[in-house]
Amino acid sequence: MLLLTRQEIASLVKFEDYIQIVEDAFRLHAEGGAFEPALAHVDAIGGEFHIKAGGLRKPFPYFGVKVNGGFFKNQERFGLPNIQGLIILSQGDNGVPLAAMDSIEITIQRTGAATAVAARYLARPDSRVCTLCGCGNQGKIQLRALKHVLPLEKAYVWSPFPQETERFAAAMAEMLALDVVPARDLPSALGQSDVCVTCTPSKSPFIRRDWIPPGMFIAAVGADSPDKQELDADLVAASIVVADLRAQSAAVGESHHAIRAGLMRADAIHAELGEIIAGIATGRTSDAQRIVFDSTGTALQDVAAAAAVYERARALEIGLEWSPTGLAGSSATPISPPLK
């Protein structure tokens, strides 16, 4: 079994690659080319664990499980990352473990890639102004994702921790050659925007329905457990909702809160993103439509990305081989059938 660090993973797959990997994974799921994903959530002392499992049937059968711990006081209290975890990748037709790898690089990149794919299919193609809510690591990749697929000219950035916005805006303006400014007034920023991304750990909604102009595309990224919420439930219920996975969004996403409030039913979710990519369902049909992408993060993304990382690591002989007797070096012969 191959062991891979975050630094090794970062050297193997570029963000542009993640976009295609994630798009293909969603399409395969819609076309029946994936194992049914599963999700578990466990509350812990001062945090929570997410366990996401699933797999792809083709072009090579892979199964993966990701365990991420989210402890949002870690940095402040212990100097540790707030989110930590592992992905275990196995062969999907015989169960042979293939790799164990750090999950954080993949989680960050595949989440941003999902927003890029969703924006390409669901945002107005001429979208030039966005509002980004959340100035952490995910905020960085989300802004980069939008810039990659839309003709962005300006970004307003807002955070529930206002001291972050100045530093973040300056860094991202330089990194992306984009006009990035702190949002002093969130409703005003939203009113001037074509696109909004929310990627905070908020447990109470901070975006209201009457702040959202016609035609806006919203990627709601932060709500990935039942207690997290960034959008008012009535905003979600009044929008066209596209889920990464219907059942998962209904269980832990923004749709969950609208359903629980009795404002919509699970079958009111318009489509899954993969269905739109595959042409099974319609995407945007009017410039006036408000569309919410309920992005809860899926095992499909994790497995597809981990498989790409694994295949490239094998080809380049990167990583350490583990066996029951210990570490056996970095270039052992794969125990799986030849990779494509």
DSSP H helical segments within the chain, as ranges?
Answer: 6-12, 15-30, 74-78, 104-122, 137-149, 163-176, 186-191, 233-237, 246-252, 254-260, 273-277, 299-316
Query: Is 66 labeled as catalytic in the residue annotation?
Result: yes
Token reading at 190: 């939203």
Distance CA 304, CA 23 (A): 10
Distance CA 320, CA 327 (A): 7
Strand pairing partners for 294? 220, 243
Catalytic residue among 52, 58, 66, 228: 66
Amino acid making up residue 109:
Q
CA 150 to chain centre: 18
Owner of token pair 């996975």: 245
The DSSP code for 51 is E
Token reading at 8: 């090794």
N-terminal to C-terminal alpha carbon distance within the chain = 18
Distance CA 13, CA 141 (A): 14
Whether residue 334 is preceded by a cis peptide bond, meaning omega within 30 degrees of 0, is no
Strand pairing partners for 129? 154
CB 8 within 8 A of CB 107: no
CB 329 within 8 A of CB 323: no
Distance CA 340, CA 315 (A): 11
Catalytically annotated residues: 66
